[in-house]
Chain A
Amino acid sequence: MSAILRNRRKKAQMEAFGLAVIVILVAVGLLLYLTLRSKTPKNEPIKAYIPSELSNNFVNSIISTNVVGCIDVEETVGKLLAYCSSGYNITSRCSGQEACTLVNRTISDILQKSLGQRNDAYVFFTKNLGWPNGGDIILSSRGCAYDNKHEGVLGETVTVQEQTYKTIMIDIYICK
């Protein structure tokens, strides 16, 4: 008699245990789903589009912008960068200002009026400019730098050639 009772009790325990296992499995499955879901990045097309559109069009637009302050209205940022690189003297045409100083001030002014107003973090830089004062123009805001530490979007590199066929590279990196 007691053996039968023991058997029945064991069966009941097994049933309860089975039920508990099912509940635990369902809970674990739900947790796994939740973890996977939270790790999947949200698809926000506009957040990817804005920095890429900004960086790609920014340099192209800035180099064809005319500089204010020179007698010859056709002096663009691109031309001044070439003059700066070659050491061409424009002081007599541009109210006594050196090409490098004038172009640096103009780019800085445009950056502040545009990306600066939007509170965007950016670094605008040139390569191979050879400015006597410091090599290249590097203008950055909010601690943004073009390195592995700062995630961001690099624009299309635009090149300007000066008279001696030296190529100057101009680019902008917009940090996220």
Chain B
Amino acid sequence: MNYLWTIEISRTRDAHRYIDEKNEISHMMKLTKRSQIQLGESITIIIIVIILLVVGIAFWSKFNQADIKQSIAESQDRYVIQLAKTASELPELRCYSAQDVPKVNCFDWYKLLALNQTMHDPLTKKEAFDYYNGYFENSRITFEQLYPEDINITVYDNNISAQRSQMIVIPVVFEKSLGRRGFMTFGWIMVEGYTR
């Protein structure tokens, strides 16, 4: 009898242990499922954050590139403006009054012709070009008389293969001194700045 009682107790214990184990497994499975869901959520958030970051970086780099291009174009513009100012203030080409005062917007036509000859004479052209290269670098400076007749004098041309060129024209008068009388003709200085 006692033996039978012992067996019964043992069976009950087994049954309880079985139920406990089953409960534990079910609980574990629930936990695993919740973890999987949480992991999925985390991965989704990470993916979205990464997408946002990538989109942000792409936009930023594109705008940054545009900003760099814009600042390069601006500095090139300023370079051509500087060239134009230099060309319009060349003291060796200006005309002067009897009191040695430079006349407004006036260039001496014969000084221009002399410079043009110096720039094209095989004996002097290298030295003259090197001198003006320090001022005008990559550019072309042309003096054009428009009235009464059209006459062009290109005094400086650094013929380089350019990607971009900007041109500024400055209206001037050219003085053609005929003895004591000066005849003024209308024209302009064309300053072309080449940039690679």
Contacts and interface: CB of A to CB of B under 8 A. Distances in A.
A49 interface: yes
B59 interface: yes
Contacts of B81: 45-46, 49
Given A42-B70, A64-B184, A74-B181, A26 B52 contact: yes
A57 B77 contact: no
Contact of B52 (A23, A37, A61, A64): A23
Size bracket, chain B contacts: 35 or more
Contact of A114 (B55, B146, B185): B146
B141 to A, nearest CB: 15
B54 interface: no
A66 interface: yes
Given A50-B168, A73-B178, A44 B74 contact: yes
A110 B185 CA distance: 10
A68 B74 CA distance: 42
A62 B171 contact: yes
A61 B74 CA distance: 29
Contacts of B56: 26, 30
Given A53-B84, A58-B171, A109-B147, A64 B106 contact: yes
Contacts of B73: 44
A49 B45 contact: no
B168 A49 contact: yes
Contacts of A118: 169
Interface string B120-133: 00000000000000
Contact of A43 (B70, B170, B188): B70
B169 A61 contact: no
Contacts of A23: 48, 52
Nearest to B189: A57
B184 A66 contact: yes
Contacts of A57: 105, 170-172
A54 B171 CA distance: 6
A65 interface: yes
B5 interface: no
A21 interface: no
Contacts of B184: 64-66, 76
B134 interface: no
B74 A43 contact: yes
Contacts of A151: none
Interface of A: 12, 15, 19, 23, 26, 30, 37, 42-46, 49-50, 53-54, 57-58, 60-62, 64-66, 68, 73-74, 76, 106, 109-110, 113-114, 118
26 contacts: A15-B41, A23-B48, A26-B52, A42-B70, A43-B70, A44-B77, A45-B78, A46-B77, A49-B84, A53-B84, A54-B171, A57-B105, A57-B170, A58-B171, A61-B172, A64-B173, A65-B173, A66-B183, A66-B185, A68-B147, A106-B147, A109-B147, A110-B186, A114-B186, A114-B188, A118-B169
